[in-house]
Amino acid sequence: MRTVVLNPKGGSGKTTIATNLAAYYAQQGEHPALMDADPQGSSARWLRKRPADAPAIHGISAFERSTGVTRSWQLRVPLHCTQVIVDTAAGLDAQELREVARSADAILVPVMPSDIDIHAAAQCISDLLLVAKIRRSEGRIGIIANRVRRNTRAFTSLLRFLESLDIPLLASLRDSQNYVRSAEFGRGIHEMPNWQVGKDVDQWRAITDWLRTRALGLAQDR
């Protein structure tokens, strides 16, 4: 299962989603690979902080270029990895977006509640549908409202925009310091004490359930 976290606008929370999803799969006893395609290398830096006793996550620094090996060898995913999570770069052009989307079994689009982010997300969704030729009926795209503060005008505007897309809003993740604290130690919120992160873990359940359903559907089709 290859899950791509995608939004060409920087600062939308792609790395937060990608690292926490990888940590979730690792905590569940699966064997995830986390591919960092962003030149900033935030996911790779998070992996380097990960403690030795934490469940293993295989890292792939796709943003690096090596003259000593072929590109396909550099991007190879070990056979034992059952989940691949791709943290994409900001500023993807239409061709890059099409190539990234083509290989994805699921596409997660994080959106922040601001006018600028809503406009950027609208363009991203439009490119996925019109440029990458992804049909809504495929059910490959899911949206995540990120760093949400409810009962604000920005959140109301975001909900209004999302309702117009006919693409599922999987979850609204609150603006929580738990993401900051867990990232400092190379962990995900699912690996933190439940008394501390219970609300955040509950919000993630809809995301992981949607991905499980996608994986089961793909397995049946194959």
Q: CATH no. for residue 195? A: 3.40.50.300
67 has a pLDDT exceeding 80 = no
More confident: 208 or 93: 208
11 has a pLDDT exceeding 80 = yes
* Listed residue (215, 171, 125) closest to 20, CA to CA: 171
**What pLDDT was estimated at residue 71?**
65
* Listed residue (126, 219, 111) closest to 170, CA to CA: 111
Task: Encode pLDDT of 154-181 as tens digits.
Answer: 778 777 877 777 888 899 999 999 999 9
Q: For the chain, how many structural domains are there in total?
A: 1
Domain that holds residue 203: 2-221
Mean pLDDT of the chain: 88
Whole-number Cα distances in Å, 148 to 65, 88, 113, 145, 192: 36, 22, 7, 7, 21
120 has a pLDDT exceeding 90 = no
**∠ at Cα 71 (66, 74), nearest 5°?**
70
25 has a pLDDT exceeding 90 = yes
